[in-house]
Amino acid sequence: MGADGSRPSRRRWVAAGLAVVAILALLLYGVTSFVVYDTVGTAPGACDPHDVANTPDKYAVRPGYDQAIADANLMPVPEDVTFASRDPGMPGARLAGWWIPAGSADAPAVILVHGIKSCRREANVLVPAGMLHRAGFSVFLMDLRDHGDSKGDDGRFSAGTEEHLDVLGAWDWLVAKGLPTGRIGIVGMSFGSMNAIIAGGQEPRVRAVWADSATTRMDIAMGNYVVDQLHDPTGLSRILVPGALVWARVVAGDDLTKFNPIEEVDTYGGRSIAFVHGALDPILPASMSIELHDRAVKAGATTPDAWIVPHAAHTEAVFKDPAGYERRLVAFFTAALGTP
């Protein structure tokens, strides 16, 4: 130490400076990770403006898709229904659905579940519903909480921890109508496929699930979304995901990683599950559906080969190959639920 005591003083200043930098870095991380959570985790509370006028008997596809696909898959005017989630924290008939029964009273039924920040009015839900209805299936199209015409609880997305109970509420509604549990299946699109898989994982009486553009794990999906939105070629922005997961607990009390489809498929032994994915999906790569399929096979599920559709991006398979989609969709549910 020098006689003037300069070295300890210098060290104190360096330590203080590093502490300030660390605090600022932590604050910056907290703010940016909150922005990520707020962007991903805020539910819309309504349908997308492109879809708000759509109904099963008259609807339009998004720009860039072939309107003839919608026109070939129109359905009768639906019955508007309200139903309750299985979630005890959301009591009452607060969820909205459309019931479109088949001509035969004993026909099997399929529930269709939309993606995040979407609703039952989007064409990627209405088209497969129309395909199934034309084949003789009854169909039930639903809006998850905080989406479309359904009431909300906290305006937040919970990665299926709550929403899968809404899907099971629709399933309960059909059972209460007298449909045998072995004659009810579920179709999920994107986030809807996550909820469909979780619903089947938690309710062993769900007979069959068709998962379009599914993810394996929520934390991986969030990381991919952040990288895509920030146009980050390095992938370093994934470090924001742990902070976003913490914010979900702090803001809404949600554990976004409580359920993951890759683990839920372990319960599908003896039941039917199918996976379809666009080869060009920029956020949820098609390899996720292949991984889910392989895990389901190991669990003893009845599952066709994962269908990876060339030239299709996220949930685009039904528009890029509608004939192939209809053939596989109808064959899958006919085998799983019985002939309509």
Mean pLDDT over 125-149 rounds to: 97
Q: Residue 95's beta-bridge partner residues? A: 83
pLDDT digits (tens, 9 = 90+) for 60-109: 999 999 999 999 999 999 999 999 999 998 988 999 999 999 988 899 99
Residue among 48, 137, 69, 103 nearest 332 (CA): 137
Judged against a pLDDT cut of 70, whether residue 119 lies above it is answered with yes
The more confidently predicted of residues 174 and 242 is 174
Helix, strand, coil distribution of the chain in percent, nearest 5: 45, 15, 40
Ranges of each domain in the chain: 1-41+236-256, 48-217+258-337
C-alpha of 267 from chain center: 19
The more confidently predicted of residues 18 and 260 is 260
The more confidently predicted of residues 208 and 23 is 208
pLDDT digits (tens, 9 = 90+) for 305-317: 999 999 999 999 9
Mean pLDDT over 159-174 rounds to: 96
Q: Which amino acid is it at 12?
A: R
CA torsion through residues 298, 215, 312, 74, sign: positive
pLDDT digits (tens, 9 = 90+) for 255-290: 989 999 999 999 999 999 999 999 999 989 999 999
Q: What pLDDT band is residue 6 in, cutting at 50, 70 and 90?
A: low
Give the per-residue SS3 of 287-321.
HHHHHHHHHHHHHCCECCCCEEECCCCCCCHHHHC
Architecture label for domain 48-217+258-337: 3-Layer(aba) Sandwich (3.40)
Q: How far apart are CA 101 and CA 79, in angstroms?
A: 9
> Can you state the angle between helices 191-202 and 163-176, rounded to 10 degrees?
60
Predicted confidence at residue 3, as pLDDT, reads 52
Give the per-residue SS3 of 217-266.
CHHHHHHHHHHHHCCCCCCHHHHHHHHHHHHHHHHHCCCCCCCCHHHHHH
Asked whether 209 and 275 are in contact (CB, 8 A), the reply is no
